[in-house]
Amino acid sequence: MAYTFKGGVHPGEHKLTERSAITNFPAPAHLCIPLQQHIGAPAKALVSVGDKVCVGTVLGDTPDALCVPVHSPVSGTVTAISARVDAMGRKVEHVEIDNDFERTRDNAVEPFTKPILEASAEELIELIRRAGICGMGGAGFPTYAKLKSALNANVDKLIINACECEPYLTADHRLLLEDPAAVIGGIKIVMRILDLGDATIAIEDNKRDAALLLRQTIQDELIRVHLLKTKYPQGDERQIIYAITSRQIPAGKLPSDVGAVVLNAATCAAIYSALVTGMPLIDRIVTVTGDCVQHPMNLRVPFGTSFADLFEYCGGFTAEPDKIVTGGPMMGSARFDADGVVTKTTSGLLALKQVKDRENGTCIHCGKCAEVCPMYLSPLYFAAYAKVGEYTRALEFDVMSCVECGACAHICPGAVPLVQYIRTAKTYIREHSPKK
Ligand code: SF4
Ligand code: SF4
């Protein structure tokens, strides 16, 4: 039986690339690498214009804050350090590098040779920090900080999120099919850090091939593979924890408050790769797809590669897209051009035709949005109050518990831009909160 949660929706899967093996995207001649690719404080530049860098050289870091370092994916010369607006709309410093195509490795890049069982949790967590690893499912929270806080909490459940419930995206699915050993190796390192005797891989039942392969690759009984119902947003941390443990996270609390820690499958593979090869996080798998892309593909891409280069590599557009989305279509960030670069959280790059006009949506009071909300909220009220600027009423209806999954907007027959209203209300409340 597949496990699941209450509510949710079934958007069209559009997994056009599920059979497309991962292709290494050739490093471009010029890269533009943001010094903030994670949640937290931006890294401060540790290189200057004119410096020679190697593959794996630290470009920036701020070790005394919630931050992970950023490394160079190529060898070459730093040509500029400039502030630009990133995919999230933040103004972030970018280090620009001209690739010399020598692929010279930084001398500091060395595999961790000590047996894992002899390494302390703190030592392993510091290695994960130095490798620049953050959550690769899209959120980008620094993994070292998540593990540190889990160490200090009473965590007894390690759950690996292999759901990839967003339509179109297949990067994690391909990783599980092509390198299950790396994912399992990373899970074992995290089990060692948290001193846990077991772990659970949660995967949707539309990826039975990957689940089967994982079960065949796992050599013991310590890591279990649980099939979850294919339903959106099954990959949300709260829903995944509920589906596996029946534990509900109270509003305003974290997974560690209910004894659980959730890591994305690609994050586990990155941990394994960093420890075994010594190479920090310098690239990731990106699903480049959408109904406007000529040849949708899964590509392993160095950070700092431009979106335009990726679309070109995939044969360009079959029709002019109405929007470009980074991440999945439900929770990703939409933009109108291909002017951006791949970062640690770019799981997908989509070129799409607009399906619904949400500008003129009208509520018909059908109640469907409340039916599907996995957080048991009433999104129609958020929209009604946000529309007239009554944000405190939206707060009374608990708008801050919304995880912005977009399930309500997806189901809404009135095409009400629910998530936009919700984000506006949340931003206003945060800005005017007495705590701030
Ligand atoms: S689903 Fe849309 S139309 Fe129906 S109640 Fe919610 S906001 Fe209104
Ligand atoms: S109200 Fe928030 S949590 Fe609920 S369905 Fe809408 S976006 Fe998701």
Question: How far is it between the farthest Cα atoms of the chain?
Answer: 63
pLDDT of residue 355: 66
**Which of 148, 156, 109, 168 lies closest to 329, judged by CA?**
168
- Using the mean position of ligand 1's atoms as its centre, give its distance from the Cα of residue 106 in Å: 55
Return the residue whose CA atom lies nearest to atom 4 of ligand 1. 366
CA distances from 261 to 24, 186, 205, 241, 249 (A): 31, 14, 22, 9, 12
pLDDT of residue 187: 98
Buried b (16+ CB within 10 A) or exposed e, 213-233: bbeeebeeeebebbbbbbbbb
pLDDT of residue 210: 98
- Using the mean position of ligand 2's atoms as its centre, give its distance from the Cα of residue 402 in Å: 5
Could you state, in order of their start, the residue ranges of all structural domains in the chain?
116-277, 368-431
With the most atoms of ligand 2 within 8 angstroms of its CB, the residue from 237, 385, 405, 423 to mutate is: 405
**Which of 307, 316, 348, 343 lies closest to 331, judged by CA?**
348
With the most atoms of ligand 1 within 8 angstroms of its CB, the residue from 399, 412, 420 to mutate is: 412
pLDDT of residue 414: 93
Read off the pTM: 0.94
Radius of gyration of the chain (CA): 21
Instruction: List, run by run, the mean pLDDT of 10-residue segments along the chain (436 residues).
Output: 80 96 98 95 96 98 94 98 84 96 96 91 97 91 95 93 97 98 97 96 97 94 94 94 93 91 98 97 98 97 97 97 93 86 96 75 93 95 94 93 95 93 93 70
Beta carbons of 338 and 324 less than 8 angstroms apart: yes
The set of protein residues with a Cβ atom below 6 angstroms from ligand 2 is 373, 375, 377, 379, 402-408, 418-419, 422
Query: Which CATH class for the 116-277 domain?
Result: alpha beta
pLDDT of residue 334: 85
pLDDT of residue 181: 97
**Which of 144, 146, 148 lies closest to 132, judged by CA?**
144
> Containing H/E element for 97?
strand 91-99
Is residue 366 lining ligand 1, measured as CB closer than 6 Å? yes
Beta carbons of 381 and 12 less than 8 angstroms apart: no
Residue pointed to by tokens 């607006």: 85
123 φ/ψ angles, rounded to the nearest 5 degrees? -65, -45
pLDDT of residue 356: 63
Burial of residue 354 (CB within 10 Å: 0-12, 13-18, 19+) is exposed
pLDDT of residue 74: 98
**Which of 126, 375, 435, 221 lies closest to 418, judged by CA?**
375
Is residue 316 lining ligand 1, measured as CB closer than 6 Å? no
- Using the mean position of ligand 2's atoms as its centre, give its distance from the Cα of residue 407 in Å: 6
- Using the mean position of ligand 1's atoms as its centre, give its distance from the Cα of residue 415 in Å: 8
Beta bridge partners of 288: 297, 349
Return the residue whose CA atom lies nearest to atom 4 of ligand 2. 373
**Which residue type is seen at 406?**
G
Beta carbons of 349 and 166 less than 8 angstroms apart: no
